[in-house]
Structure 1
Amino acid sequence: MKEKIIKNAAELFITLGFKSVTMDDIANHMGISKKTIYSHFSNKTELVKEATLCVFHEITCGIRCIRELNKNPIEELYEIKKFAMLHLKNEKVSPQYQLQKYYPEIFNTLKEKQYENMHECTLQNLERGVALGLYRDNLDIEFVSRIYFIGVRGIKDDTLFPTQRFPKAELMEDYLEYHLRGIVTPEGLKTLNKFIKQQSNE
């Protein structure tokens, strides 16, 4: 039951927001009593922590599976972006902003975990891209990987990029293209243009 509560709560938090969803909402959604939830979690903060870690682990596992396919590094980034956006339901309510505002400790813990995971993933992607001649060989990959992380985090800031003006799916699409255009070789650009064309046709 505990796992079911975590999964249902995570879905509601991502869809409706961490602040908006109450323990009553979760109980009603699941058709159980609030008492049942409190038998597993002492308070909402504890449930929020478990739910965010659950989503993080699911996304991490999904990204690992994509990486194990050893796709072209540019295709790999597009596949990861597609998977993450699908999993986060395009973040229509900016859950990251609510998490940062109302649960700062959980937010900071999650941010550290995301950085560790994304840093390793991006470094390997950059190294493979350089080795295959798709990314420029004069890149400082440590610098590029950190800048990429900052950008991915930054575009989720609803005060800088309000959803009404910058829909999350389009924003991530634009940022990924921006990132790749700065690092690709002429050969890599051919591959990138192919994916840009595919995206516009979907």
Structure 2
Amino acid sequence: MKAVIEKVAFELFLKHGPKRVTIDDIVAATPISRKHFYELYLNKEQLIKAMTGRFLLNARLEINEVAPKEGCPLVALIKVQYHFFQHIQKLSSSFIYEVRKYFPESVSDYDSFRQDLADSMTAFVENSREKGWIAEGVNIQRYVKLQLYCLEEILFGRLDLINHGSQDEIAGLGSDIIFNNTRGIVSREKIMVYDELISRLKKEYGNIN
């Protein structure tokens, strides 16, 4: 039953923002009573924390499943970013804004997830450097920070394309950041091999939407 409630609440929060949605709104959209709701959750904040935790757990599981299957750490790096972007597209800017403002416990869960992702990306880049994929002088930490910042900025920053941009625009910018920015750190000796790998990945994934 919790999974049903959290799914319904998630859809309502994305559409209207978590601040505006009431417990009565959630109860009305689910086959439970108000009393039953309070037997499962103390309040709306606990619901949001549980819902956010479920969303992030699913993202973690998918990302963790994909990366270890890759023999090439650079391909794993690309796939991790791709699946991260796929998941955060399911959110909305109003949801992100209101959760950050009114429900800080859920924000800390996202920040923890994001840090784990950054650590994984850093490890893949370092492994790629050891295997000769990365150009000399690349600042790995800066690359990782910029990648995550730029992917989030497309959806939740000043561009706010998730509300005002087309799916093609979102997919195009996401693709440029993931594939082209990563190409910029590849060593000259490996650039042609990288282009071949990315060509195959783009056929596999299609647009990032």
**TM-score, reference length from structure 2:** 0.75
- CA 1:26–1:53 in 2, change beyond 3 Å: closer, same or farther? same
Q: Give the whole-Å Cα distance in 1 for the aligned partners of 2:126 and 2:195.
A: 17
Is the CA contact (8 Å cut-off) linking 2:6 and 2:51 kept in structure 1? yes
User: Does residue 177 of structure 1 match 2:179?
Assistant: yes
- CA 1:130–1:16 in 2, change beyond 3 Å: closer, same or farther? farther
Q: Give the whole-Å Cα distance in 2 for the aligned partners of 1:88 and 1:137.
A: 32
User: Does residue 148 of structure 1 match 2:154?
Assistant: no
Aligned residues: 201
Is the CA contact (8 Å cut-off) linking 2:27 and 2:34 kept in structure 1? yes
Deviations 1:148-171 (A, max 9, x none): 232233333243333323644443
The RMSD of aligned alpha carbons is 3.1
List runs of 5+ in structure 1 lacking aligned partners: none
Which amino acid counterpart does residue 139 of structure 1 have in structure 2? V
Is the CA contact (8 Å cut-off) linking 1:17 and 1:98 kept in structure 2? yes
Which amino acid counterpart does residue 134 of structure 1 have in structure 2? W
Q: Secondary structure at the match of 2:46?
A: helix
Q: Secondary structure at the match of 2:41?
A: coil
List runs of 5+ in structure 2 lacking aligned partners: none
1:126 corresponds in structure 2 to 125
Q: Secondary structure at the match of 2:28?
A: helix
Which amino acid counterpart does residue 120 of structure 1 have in structure 2? D
Is the CA contact (8 Å cut-off) linking 1:96 and 1:156 kept in structure 2? no
Which amino acid counterpart does residue 153 of structure 2 have in structure 1? G
Which amino acid counterpart does residue 173 of structure 2 have in structure 1? L
1:24 corresponds in structure 2 to 24
Q: Give the whole-Å Cα distance in 2 for the aligned partners of 1:151 and 1:4.
A: 33
Q: Give the whole-Å Cα distance in 1 for the aligned partners of 2:111 and 2:93.
A: 22
Q: Give the whole-Å Cα distance in 2 for the aligned partners of 1:17 and 1:50.
A: 16
Of all paired residues, the percent bearing the same amino acid is 23
User: Does residue 33 of structure 1 match 2:33?
Assistant: yes
**TM-score, reference length from structure 1:** 0.77
Deviations 1:122-164 (A, max 9, x none): 1122123223433324322222222223223333324333332
- CA 1:200–1:39 in 2, change beyond 3 Å: closer, same or farther? closer
Instruction: Give the deviation of 1:33 after TM superposition.
Output: 1.4
Which of residues 184, 191, 201 is equivalent to 1:195?
201
Q: Give the whole-Å Cα distance in 1 for the aligned partners of 2:29 and 2:203.
A: 41
Which amino acid counterpart does residue 165 of structure 2 have in structure 1? R
1:42 corresponds in structure 2 to 42
Instruction: Give the deviation of 1:44 after TM superposition.
Output: 1.0
- CA 1:169–1:35 in 2, change beyond 3 Å: closer, same or farther? farther
Q: Which portions of structure 1, spanning 4 or more consecutive aligned residues, are displaced by more than 6 angstroms?
A: none
